[in-house]
Copies of this chain bind each other. A is one copy, B any other.
Amino acid sequence: MTTWGESHGGAIGAVIDGCPPRLSLSEADIQPDLDRRAPGQSAIVTQRKESDTVKILSGVFEGQTLGTPISLLIPNEDMRPGDYREVQEKYRPSHADYTYDVKYGVRDWRGGGRTSARETAGRVAAAAIARKLLGERWSVTVVAWVSKVGRLAVDCDVEKVTRAEVDQTPIRCPDLAVAEKMIAAVEAARKDGDSLGGIVTCAVRGCPPGWGEPVFDRLEADLAKAVMSLPASKGFEIGSGFAGTDLRGSEHNDEFYVEDKRVRTRTNRSGGVQGGITNGETIYFRVAFKPTATILREQNTVNVRYEDTTIKGRGRHDPCVLPRAVPMVEAMTALVLADHALLHQAVTG
C-alpha cells in the first residue's frame, strides 16, 4: 500500500497492490470508514469541512477486484491556504515544520502538507478493503475505541466492545458515563484554546492461530510500526504491556488448556500473540496519542531565518485527536493483519 497527497494539494489517495481478486468491492464499502475519520463530524473535532468522497479509479471491474492495483482518489476541497501564511514563516512547536525544512530544504506549509493527519484518509480508505477481506475470508473483526482522554481513563472488556457501542458518542468511548466526562473535558480544553491527548485501545477478534513471522516481522512488531506511523502517536503496548512489568512470571504466564479440541489460554496477558505469531486469542493493544500540537495560544518558537519569535495557532483545529484516531488505528491494524494473512498463505499454502 502506498499513499500520496498533501493536505492542500489537488487530491490525496492510495494505491493497493496485491489485493486478491474476486472480492466484491465498491465505493460504498469504503466511504463509511472514511466518514468516520472525516473532520467536521461534531463540535469536538476540527470544523474543517471535507466531504472526503472516495473514487475507485482502477482494479475493480463489474463490482469485483481484479487482482491488479486498486487506485483510490479523494479530492481535496475546503482549502484555505490563507489560514496558514504565518506557518510559512515560523516553525510551529511540536509540529514537523522544522524537521521537514531541515531534511528536504523545501516544505508545503499549507495545512502541514504531507505531515497533515489528512494523509491518513488514504490509509483509512485502503484499509476498508483490507477489513473487508479479513471479514469475508477469515471472519476477523477489528474494533478500536477511546480508552483515555486527558486524565479520564476507562477499562472496557476487549472481548466485547462493538463498533455500535463505540459510535454512540462523538468521543468514541463505549462507556457512556465516562464518555460524557471526556466530551466535557475536550470542550473545556477547546475553550481554553488548549488540547488533550489520550489512548486508543484496539481489539482483533476471530484471528486464526498461526499468523505472524518469528523474528523481524513478528506480528506485534508490525502492529507497533503501523500505529507508530500515525501522526501524534507516542506509544504502543500489547497485552499486559508496561503494566505487565510489575508482575512475576508466575503471575504473568498464560496457562494453556483445551476447549472444544482447541488450545486456549486461561488469561491473555500475551495479547493474542506468542513469539510473534497469533495463538487464536483476541489480539489487543493500546496506542498513546499526544495532545494536539496546534493550540490557540501564543508560544515561543523560531522562524525560518532562525530568529526567536512567537506564534499563535489560528484556523480550525482538533482540540483532541482521539475520536478521529479510532478509525486510523483500526485501519493500520487491518492492513497489517491482511498482509500477514496473505504472507501466511504464501508459505504454508
Interface residue? A48 (CB, 8 A): no
Complex contact A218–B228 (CB within 8 A): yes
Complex contact B91–A249 (CB within 8 A): no
Complex contact A301–B21 (CB within 8 A): no
A285–chain B nearest beta-carbon distance, Å: 9
A94–chain B nearest beta-carbon distance, Å: 4
Complex contact B66–A275 (CB within 8 A): no
- Partner-contacting stretch, out of A32-40, A106-114, A155-163, A169-177: A106-114
Q: Which residues of B contact A98 (CB under 8 A)?
A: 209, 256, 263, 274, 279
Complex contact A346–B348 (CB within 8 A): no
Interface residue? A239 (CB, 8 A): yes
A229 to B219, CA, bound (A): 9
| Mask of A92-136 contacts with B, CB within 8 angstroms, 1/0 | 011110111011111110100111000100000000000000000
Q: Which residues of B contact A105 (CB under 8 A)?
A: 21-22, 348
Take A57-B11, A225-B221 as given contacts and tell me if A245 and B288 are in contact as well, using a CB distance cutoff of 8 Å: yes
Q: Which residues of B contact A295 (CB under 8 A)?
A: 249-250, 253
A194 to B241, CA, bound (A): 19
* Residues of chain A at interface, number, CB under 8 A: 147
Q: Which residues of B contact A263 (CB under 8 A)?
A: 91, 98, 102, 302, 306
Taking CB atoms and an 8 Å cut-off, the chain A residues in 244-298 that contact chain B are 244-258, 261-263, 265-266, 269-271, 273-280, 286, 288-295, 297
Q: Which residues of B contact A271 (CB under 8 A)?
A: 234
Complex contact B215–A245 (CB within 8 A): no
A212 to B98, CA, bound (A): 13
Interface residue? A316 (CB, 8 A): no
Q: Which residues of B contact A212 (CB under 8 A)?
A: 99, 103
Interface residue? A315 (CB, 8 A): no
Take A13-B57, A98-B263, A151-B246 as given contacts and tell me if A67 and B257 are in contact as well, using a CB distance cutoff of 8 Å: no
A346 to B256, CA, bound (A): 31
Complex contact B246–A236 (CB within 8 A): no
| Mask of A53-73 contacts with B, CB within 8 angstroms, 1/0 | 001111101001111111101
A residues in contact (CB < 8 Å) with B: 2-6, 9-13, 15, 17-18, 20-22, 55-59, 61, 64-71, 73, 91, 93-96, 98-100, 102-108, 110, 113-115, 119, 148, 150-151, 189, 192, 194-199, 209-212, 214-218, 220-226, 228-229, 231, 233-242, 244-258, 261-263, 265-266, 269-271, 273-280, 286, 288-295, 297, 299-302, 306-308, 342-349
17 inter-chain pairs at a CB distance below 8 angstroms, sorted by A residue, are A13-B57, A21-B348, A93-B253, A99-B273, A99-B276, A102-B277, A150-B245, A196-B248, A197-B252, A245-B289, A245-B291, A250-B299, A252-B291, A253-B295, A255-B300, A263-B306, A342-B346
